[in-house]
Amino acid sequence: MKKTLLLSLFLFVFNQMKAQEFSRKDSLQGGFREERTCYDVLRYDLDIRIDPEKKWIFGSNTITFKVDDDTNKIQVDLFENMILDGITLDNIPKIEFTREFNAVFIHFPKTLKKGEIHKLKISYYGNPVIAKNAPWDGGFVFTKDKKQNPWIGVAVQGTGASLWYPCKDSQTDEPDNGASIKVAVPNGLMNVSNGRFLGSTDLKDGYTRWDWEVKNPINNYDITVNIADYVHIHDNHEGLDLDYYVLRYNEETARKHFDNDVKPMMNCFQSKFGKYPFFEDGYKLVETPYLGMEHQSAVAYGNKYKKGYLGMDLSGTGAGMFFDYITIHETGHEWFGNSITSKDIADMWIHEGFTTYTETVFIECIKGYDEAIKYVNGQSRNVQNDRPIIGQFGVNREGSGDMYYKGALLLNTIRHIINDDVKWWKLLYNYSETYKKQIIDTKTVIDFFNKESSIDLTSVFQHYLTTTKIPKLVLSKTSNKLNYKWENVTADFKMPVDIIINEQTIRLQPTTENQELKVEKKLVLENIAVKTNQFYIKVERK
């Protein structure tokens, strides 16, 4: 049965791919050909200069890599509008390369042997793509603060980090030994990137270089630059460095605002998901000219020091108005997305579904179960059911935006299928710790949840992730019998659901075939309550 369901999932996704046309450019960016799989990135050393007036980047990225299979050619990625200025392998200059769309094929003068470690320095320059509406489309933001100082940020999730620096632009491979990010900016400005600040150097030409070091593996799209007239606020929580970089005139506001959410959030998340994954690199919030992004150890913050989502509650219930949505959501990604990463962006629900659920977890930590349940169910109003949550593999395509809210509702449903909160919180904690700093896929998630819960949840995951149908519980009554069954589901679908009759909770095990439950003759069908706040379903009474 389990193998059948997983095969159905695969065939569904395969048919979706056939139904949509994809180009060579798509497969070059999202695919897993030999030129990508033959090597493993060990480290990035980025050394660049950014000119705010010309909106221009100049510099290099040195990629340290290990050869996994003998090869004389590899693929790296850099958007075709950026100019490649030369490639050096170890001490050998002028390495040949060819370009096809955003792919750069590097041709070595000799075969690189399995197990060898090499350094590839790629020099480049150009004007990177500017985002029209960051962070929803990828690119740079070049703007000015209220004092007319340059204020620059970048967000490239989904679009690709190769928009602004050369890399192996795939979530399948993170630099195992971290990265250094050295960014020169005009004097008077500061650059804040990921990891620890190592120091700044006046280059004596009107620019100062700011050096940062990341100790942990890091997603390509998480590597970032933030350039502004920043001030630095430092704090510490139980040994974890908390650093905030905010616009100079927002310092007093930021001190008060972040103090309200960050420490309670860290207490909650570490109790539920394990120790902050990037302790060695510290935790930062950096004020940005766009709403936010989960840049590892340098979380982008642009919620304007408001509660909720820019002053609104996305659940429509009021339950989300006591905390800053961007602080909580984007930090949740440190565990789900940055630590646990999906191999392909088609599986980005592994990032967004779990992270959206962390908002509910935070509410439960602070306000209790009832407020948390109100919040997560309020989010159902944002579900579109326009297309499946799982996208198309191998072509750099995400699934539906329902990966956020429907993904969180799926997890809330699974919690109540398990029906044992001790087991649930242990499962979630163990999931986070088991796959800490690992790259996984949907099958890995399903197998783990099945094993830890001792319940076959495969058909539940499959249904919510690969279809747009919401299971419908159909109830009818004849004499002293309650009839019930699932509709709007596949024949293999199996999921319990709880109902309340005369203040007594009863667990039903519906199938697609009609089943019966003996009840009192005088029982009115409308008086049967279905726990739709615990199970993301529809109910029809006939």
pLDDT at res. 28: 86
pLDDT tens-digit map of 339-379: 999 999 999 999 999 999 999 999 999 999 999 999 999 99
User: Do 46 and 140 sit in the same domain of this protein?
Assistant: yes
Task: Kindly state whether residue 288 falls inside one of the protein's structural domains.
Answer: no
pLDDT over threshold 80, residue 21: no
Point out the domain boundary residue: 466, 500, 533: 466
Do strands 226-228 and 472-478 pair parallel, antiparallel, or not at all (unpaired)? unpaired
CATH number at residue 200: 2.60.40.1730
Listed residue (181, 85, 76) closest to 125, CA to CA: 85
Task: Name residue, tokens 């408001």.
Answer: 306
SS3 state at 9 = helix
DSSP 474-524: EEEEETTEEEEEEESS-TT----EEEEETTEEEEE---SS-EEEE--TT--
CA angle 116-280-180, nearest 5°? 50
Task: Kindly state whether residue 51 falls inside one of the protein's structural domains.
Answer: yes
CATH number at residue 525: 2.60.40
User: Do 456 and 479 sit in the same domain of this protein?
Assistant: no
pLDDT tens-digit map of 46-77: 999 999 999 999 999 999 999 999 999 999 99
Task: Kindly state whether residue 310 falls inside one of the protein's structural domains.
Answer: no
Angle between helices 405-418 and 349-367 (to 10 degrees): 60
- Gyration radius (Cα) of the chain, Å: 25
pLDDT tens-digit map of 428-475: 999 999 999 999 999 999 999 999 999 999 999 999 999 999 999 999
User: Do 168 and 213 sit in the same domain of this protein?
Assistant: yes
Q: What percent of the chain has pLDDT over 90?
A: 92
User: Do 443 and 532 sit in the same domain of this protein?
Assistant: no
pLDDT at res. 153: 98
Q: Other CB atoms closer than 10 Å to residue 191's CB: what's the count?
A: 26
Question: Is the pLDDT higher at 521 or at 402?
Answer: 402
pLDDT over threshold 90, residue 19: no
Q: How many distinct structural domains can be found in the chain?
A: 3
Cα–Cα distance, 508 to 485 (Å, whole number): 9
User: Do 186 and 41 sit in the same domain of this protein?
Assistant: yes
CATH number at residue 346: 1.10.390.10
Cα–Cα distance, 380 to 310 (Å, whole number): 20
User: Do 54 and 123 sit in the same domain of this protein?
Assistant: yes
pLDDT at res. 30: 85
pLDDT over threshold 60, residue 380: yes
CA angle 134-138-141, nearest 5°? 50
Task: Kindly state whether residue 138 falls inside one of the protein's structural domains.
Answer: yes
SS3 state at 237 = strand
pLDDT tens-digit map of 297-311: 999 999 999 999 999
Point out the domain boundary residue: 228, 248, 268: 228
Point out the domain boundary residue: 466, 493, 512: 466
pTM of the model: 0.94
Residue 283 β-bridge partners: 242
User: Do 359 and 431 sit in the same domain of this protein?
Assistant: yes
User: Do 83 and 206 sit in the same domain of this protein?
Assistant: yes
Angle between helices 442-453 and 421-434 (to 10 degrees): 140
Q: Which phi and psi angles does 217 have, rounded to 5°? A: -55, 150
Contacts of residues 364-373 at CB distance under 8 Å and 24 or more positions apart, as own/partner, are: 365/264, 365/267, 365/268, 365/271, 365/272, 366/264, 366/268, 366/322, 366/323, 367/319, 367/322, 371/319, 372/319, 373/412, 373/533, 373/534
Domain that holds residue 501: 472-541
User: Do 410 and 496 sit in the same domain of this protein?
Assistant: no
Task: Kindly state whether residue 290 falls inside one of the protein's structural domains.
Answer: no
Residue 12's pLDDT band (boundaries 50, 70, 90)?
very low
What average pLDDT does the segment 99-126 reach?
98
pLDDT over threshold 60, residue 7: no
User: Do 479 and 440 sit in the same domain of this protein?
Assistant: no
Residue 148's pLDDT band (boundaries 50, 70, 90)?
very high
pLDDT at res. 103: 97
Assess contact for 6 and 447: CB atoms under 8 A.
Answer: no
pLDDT tens-digit map of 204-263: 999 999 999 999 999 999 999 999 999 999 999 999 999 999 999 999 999 999 998 999
Task: Name residue, tokens 């339950």.
Answer: 319
User: Do 438 and 497 sit in the same domain of this protein?
Assistant: no
Task: Kindly state whether residue 319 falls inside one of the protein's structural domains.
Answer: no
pLDDT tens-digit map of 195-207: 999 999 999 999 9
Q: Other CB atoms closer than 10 Å to residue 122's CB: what's the count?
A: 23
User: Do 177 and 119 sit in the same domain of this protein?
Assistant: yes
Residue 43 β-bridge partners: 64
Task: Kindly state whether residue 496 falls inside one of the protein's structural domains.
Answer: yes
Task: Kindly state whether residue 346 falls inside one of the protein's structural domains.
Answer: yes
Q: Could you tell me how many residues make up the chain? A: 542
